[in-house]
Amino acid sequence: MRTAYCVETVRAAERELMARLPEGALMQRAAAGLAAVCADVLGRVTGARIVLLVGSGDNGGDALYAGARLARRGAGVRAVLLAPDRAHSAGLAALRAAGGRVAEDPYGALRAADLVLDGITGIGGHGGLRPDAVELVRATLGTDAVMVAVDLPSGVEADTGEVRGEAVRADVTVTFGTYKPGLLIDPARDYAGAVRLVEIGLELPPTADAEALQYRDVAGLLPVPDAESDKYRRGVVGVVAGSARYPGAAVLAVAGALRGGAGAVRYVGPAADAVIARFPETLVHQGPPGKAGRVQSWVVGPGLGDSGRDFLDEVIAEDVPVLVDADGLRLLDAARVRSRTAPTLLTPHAGEAAALLGVAREQVEAARLASVRALAEKYGATVLLKGSTTLVVGPHPESPVRVNPTGTPWLATAGSGDVLSGLAGALLAAGLEPLDAASVAAYLHGLAARHASRGAPVIASEVAAALPAAWRDIRDVLRD
C-alpha cells in the first residue's frame, strides 16, 4: 500500500525524530536524497547549471543544502532568494562555502539553467504562489530546464490536492518521509510530475490519511473460486439498468459484472433482448427486482432514465449491498440511504456529485477530497468519485481516502462508467467490503483500460473484455 499523511502528522513525526537526532541531521538527510535525485536527473553534475528558488522556510533550506552538495560535485549553482532576509542562513552559508552564489541576474540564470530546484514552499505553504514567485516560475517555462520540486510543488495544498492559484509544474517531485495526500490527488497530483520518495526515518501512525492500493494489495483482495465454490458462493449480482433509450448501458454493466467474476448475473429492466443477444449467460427477469430470485448485491442506475424510480426504491429496500450509479443517483433519497443497514456504494462522476451536493461541477473538480467526503457524510455511504484520480471514501470521516493510481484519460469514453458499476457490483457480491470492492474495481478498470488502449483510443466494451488480462497481471505478482 502506498500511504500518504497530512501535514499535522508529518510535523509531529518530524518533531519526535528531531528530538532524537543531532541538530540539522534531518534536513541533511532530506538534502542528501534531494541532491542524489538531481544528480540522477542531470546525468552529469560537473558543469551543470542549477538554479535554486529559495523561499523563507525550511523548504528553501533543503534546496540550499542540496545545492551545496551539487556545487561540491562541480555544478554551477545560483540561488534566487525570494525573501533575502529570511532565507535559511545556515543553508546559505553552506552553499557559499561550497562555491555556490546568490544570483545577481535571476532571470538570466533561469534562462540558462539545466535544472531548477523549487524550494519556495513545502508543507508550510498555503494558497497559490505569490506574485514575485509567479514571475520567476513563469520565466522557467519554455526553457529546457528540468523543474525539480522540493517536497511538494510550491503552490499546491499538501493535505487536499487543491490548487488555489498558480503553482509550480514540476517534472519531478522529491518528497521526504512520506507522500502527502496532495501528491496523489488531482489537481495537485498533476503538478507533481514523477514523485520520488526519500526516506528520512519518520515513524508514522498505522492509519494513513490517504492510501493507494498496489498490485500486491489488490492481488490479496481478488476473490478466487476454490473447490467449495458454486455460483451462489461466488456471488450473484442483480443489475437494474438500461432503458428503451439507453439499452447499451445495461449491456455494459452486465459485461462488467460477468467479467468481474460474478457467479451469475440477473438482469432486470427493459433491455433484456439486447443483454441476452450480447451475453447469453445472463439470467433475465421480466418482473420487478424483488421477485428476481437470490441476489448478493444490486447494481442500479446506469442508463435507467427517469422511469426507474420504483425499481430503485425496491432495490434500496433489499438487505444486501447496493451500488447506485448514474440516473439512479438523481432519484436517490438521502434519508432512505442513511437508514439502510446493508452497505450502499455510490459511484458519481464530478457532474453527478455536483448535482447531489448542489454545487457547480468546477467546485467538485477543484476540491475532490472535500466533495467525496461531503457525499459520504450526506448519504452515510461509501462513495467512489470518478475522474482523473478516482477517490473512494467510506462513511466514517476519519477513514483514509483511497486513491486509484491506475486510471488513464483514455477511460473518458461513453459507457466505461457502466462497466465499472457492474465490476464493483460483482466484487460486492463476492463479499468484499464496499471500500475494497470500489477501490479494487477502480484499479482493475484502469488497468484493463491500459491493456485495451496501449496508447490508442479504447471503447467501453473493450475495457470489459480486457478485465481478464488485468486480473491475470495482478494474480501474477503472487507467483513472484
Ligand X SMILES: NC(=O)C1=CN([C@@H]2O[C@H](COP(=O)(O)OP(=O)(O)OC[C@H]3O[C@@H](n4cnc5c(N)ncnc54)[C@H](O)[C@@H]3O)[C@@H](O)[C@H]2O)[C@@H](O)CC1
Ligand Y SMILES: Nc1ncnc2c1ncn2[C@@H]1O[C@H](COP(=O)(O)OP(=O)(O)O)[C@@H](O)[C@H]1O
State how far the Cα of 296 lies from the Cα of 317, in Å rounded to an integer: 13
**Grid cell of 339 as nine digits:** 437508514
C-alpha pair distances (Å), 435 with each of 102, 263, 382, 465: 51, 21, 7, 24
Chosen residue from 62, 159, 314, 418 binding ligand X by CB under 6 A: 62
Report the run of H or E that residue 90 belongs to, with start and end: helix 89-97
User: Within its chain, how far is the Cα of 320 from the centroid?
Assistant: 28
Count of residues in contact with K ion, rule CB under 5 A: 4
The residue length of the chain stands at 480
Contact between 245 and ligand Y by CB under 6 A: the answer reads no
Contacts of 355 (CB under 8 A, 6+ apart): 329, 330
Contact by Cβ (8 Å): 58, 10: no
State how far the Cα of 317 lies from the Cα of 283, in Å rounded to an integer: 22
Contact by Cβ (8 Å): 392, 438: yes
Contact between 81 and K ion by CB under 5 A: the answer reads no
Chosen residue from 14, 114, 118, 314 binding K ion by CB under 5 A: 118
Q: Is 151 annotated as ligand-binding? A: yes
Which SS3 state, helix, strand or coil, does residue 416 take? helix
Q: Is 285 annotated as ligand-binding? A: no
Contact between 213 and ligand Y by CB under 6 A: the answer reads no
- Give whichever of 55 and 289 is closer to ligand X, judged by the CB atom: 55
Contact between 407 and ligand Y by CB under 6 A: the answer reads yes
- Residue 261 binding result from K ion, ligand Y, ligand X, none, given CB thresholds of 5 to 8 Å by partner type: none
Question: Which residue is closest to ligand Y by CB?
Answer: 417
Q: Which residue has the cell 532565507?
A: 87
Q: Vertex 377, ends 374 and 378: CA angle to 5°?
A: 85
DSSP state of 156: B
- For ligand Y, the binding residues in 371-400 under the rule CB under 6 A are 386-388, 390
Q: Is 123 annotated as ligand-binding? A: yes
Contact between 125 and ligand Y by CB under 6 A: the answer reads no
DSSP state of 374: H
- Give whichever of 137 and 254 is closer to K ion, judged by the CB atom: 137
Contact between 159 and ligand X by CB under 6 A: the answer reads no
Contact between 175 and K ion by CB under 5 A: the answer reads no
**Grid cell of 63 as nine digits:** 534546496
Q: Is 421 annotated as ligand-binding? A: no
Longest Cα–Cα distance in the chain: 82
Contact between 451 and ligand Y by CB under 6 A: the answer reads no
Count of residues in contact with ligand Y, rule CB under 6 A: 18
Closest approach, Cβ 463 to ligand Y, in A, equals: 9
Contact between 422 and ligand Y by CB under 6 A: the answer reads no
Contact between 157 and ligand X by CB under 6 A: the answer reads no
- Give whichever of 57 and 261 is closer to K ion, judged by the CB atom: 57
**Grid cell of 382 as nine digits:** 461509501
Between strands 210-212 and 401-403, the pairing is: parallel
Q: Is 127 annotated as ligand-binding? A: yes
- Give whichever of 445 and 451 is closer to ligand Y, judged by the CB atom: 445
Contact between 186 and ligand X by CB under 6 A: the answer reads no
- Residue 125 binding result from ligand Y, ligand X, K ion, none, given CB thresholds of 5 to 8 Å by partner type: ligand X
- For ligand Y, the binding residues in 304-333 under the rule CB under 6 A are 326
State how far the Cα of 117 lies from the Cα of 147, in Å rounded to an integer: 6
- For K ion, the binding residues in 142-171 under the rule CB under 5 A are 149-150, 154
Between strands 146-150 and 264-268, the pairing is: unpaired
Which residues in 303-458 belong to E strands, given as ranges? 322-324, 344-346, 382-385, 391-393, 401-403
Cβ burial, residue 164 (10 Å; 0-12/13-18/19+): middle
- For ligand X, the binding residues in 27-46 under the rule CB under 6 A are 27, 30
Which residues here bind K ion, judged by CB under 5 A?
Answer: 118, 149-150, 154
Which residues here bind ligand Y, judged by CB under 6 A?
Answer: 326, 349, 386-388, 390, 407-409, 411-412, 414-418, 420, 445
**Residue positions forming the annotated binding site:** 58-62, 118, 122-128, 151, 154, 249, 303, 349, 386-390, 417-418
Which residues here bind ligand X, judged by CB under 6 A?
Answer: 14, 18, 26-27, 30, 55-60, 62, 120-127, 129-130, 133, 150-151, 176, 200
